[in-house]
Amino acid sequence: MSDIKEKYKIGEYSFDTFHEYRDAQEDLKKIEVINDELDIHDPEVAVRLYNRIRDGEIVFKSPIGEKFFDHVADIVADKSVGLLEDKAVVDEAEHKVRYQKFIGMAVVALAAGLFVYFGFSELENYLTAKRLAKLSGETKQGAQHDPGGRASSSQAMEGTDPFSEGENLDPSKLTVLPELESALSSNPDLVGWIRIADTRIDYPVVQRDNSYYLDHAFDGSQDSNGTLFMDERCDNVNPTTNTIIYGHNMNSGLMFGGLKHYLDEDYLNSHRTIEFTSLYQKRTYEIVAVCLAEVEYADDDNFRYYNFISAENQNDWDAFVTSVQRVSVYGDNIDLAPGDKVMTLSTCNNYTEDGRLFLVAKQIS
């Protein structure tokens, strides 16, 4: 038993089980990121951090995390209450924080109200953006080792059946592009990277099930921003007719929060090109339609764009194109032809209940 105690020990803290020990390690990692990225001794930063932890948006699961939360609370109580205009309240707060910590917490909450305009999600958004920017820098650095890139998959050859299945590629015989090696080693769910020039869309794309990455960051931590993910039914190595990528419409502009700008036609015309680098090849797509739709109920007989993965025949293809034409924002002149490989970027939109905004793009190289 003493050996186990020694094994599951971090500093002055001992843990009875491996799971408790892992929780403590995860808490330490979170604390390290926070200390690296934020000046927690800045009163405004400390208040926002305190709120995030208090409201359960940053979760600690061990005594180490609880101790850090106490530390943040002390910083807020000592420094942020000084921003209150009522000197009597300040004096009372400082006294109660010193002698009765839980009352001090209530005063902290009062002080925190002064900073509501910062938004409760600002810290998470900041950390998410920093992590993604670091990942993006690593991919760009990796690309320098492969300046020519790999050839993209060829389009359907003229005179062949556009719906016939060609020879499938074997992933075990393919080489991962150098620019994605580092990100792939960090997360084996990675299937590629998407960029749209002159926008904030410069993100990894993962594939697992269609729910996990709704509220998990690329590193697996809880994050309301989620991560861009490819529909679990799509094949990234031998692309299906339609490759669907989902992302949240965040008010901060993160993830697919910027897709709403495509409702401006001038913006569309200057941002038509999507660069998607899969694990094994570079692909370029051109946006051909901007659409507004809604999630259909189970008993509706309408075409569901999010269920179009592969066109087995001309009827499947025609149904998809007709559906896109019906909900296209800029008219029904959609430049799509049988055999085109399509990418759909999908996000929420509040133009109606259960509304969706999606872009349809075709592969051009």
Would residue 204 be called left, alpha or beta, if left means φ above 0 and alpha means ψ between -120 and 50 degrees? Answer: beta
Amino acid found at 329? V
Residues of the chain with CATH 2.40.260.10: 156-363
Q: What topology does CATH give the domain 156-363?
A: Sortase; Chain: A; (2.40.260)
Give 214-248 pLDDT, tens digit per residue: 999 999 998 889 999 999 999 989 999 999 999 99
Alpha-helical segments (H) within 156-288: 178-186, 265-270
d(CA 205, CA 190): 6
For the stretch 8-24, pLDDT in tens is 788 778 888 877 888 88
Query: Residue 89's pLDDT is what?
Result: 42
Angle between helices 63-79 and 101-112 (to 10 degrees): 60
pLDDT at 26: 83
Look at 38 and 197; give whichever has higher pLDDT.
197
Task: Residue 192: name the closest of 209, 180, 182 by CA.
Answer: 180
* Chain segment 259-291, per-residue pLDDT in tens: 999 999 999 999 999 999 999 999 999 999 999
pLDDT of 1 > 80? The answer is no
The pTM of the full predicted model, rounded to 2 decimals, is 0.66
Cα Rg, the chain, nearest whole Å: 25
DSSP state of 157: P
Written as one string, the DSSP assignment of 185-213 is: HH-TTEEEEEE-TTSS-EEEEE-S-SSGG
pLDDT at 193 over 90: yes
CA distances 242 to 86, 97, 176, 257, 311, Å, are: 61, 59, 22, 22, 8
With 60 as the cut, is the pLDDT of residue 172 above it?
A: yes
| Six-digit token string for 311 | 């066109």
CA pair distance 297, 326, nearest whole angstrom = 18
Tokens representing 268 are 């569309």
119 burial (CB, 10 Å; 0-12 / 13-18 / 19+) is middle
The CA–CA distances, whole Å, from 268 to 63, 87, 139, 265 equal 51, 54, 26, 5
Q: What is the mean pLDDT of residues 184-196?
A: 97
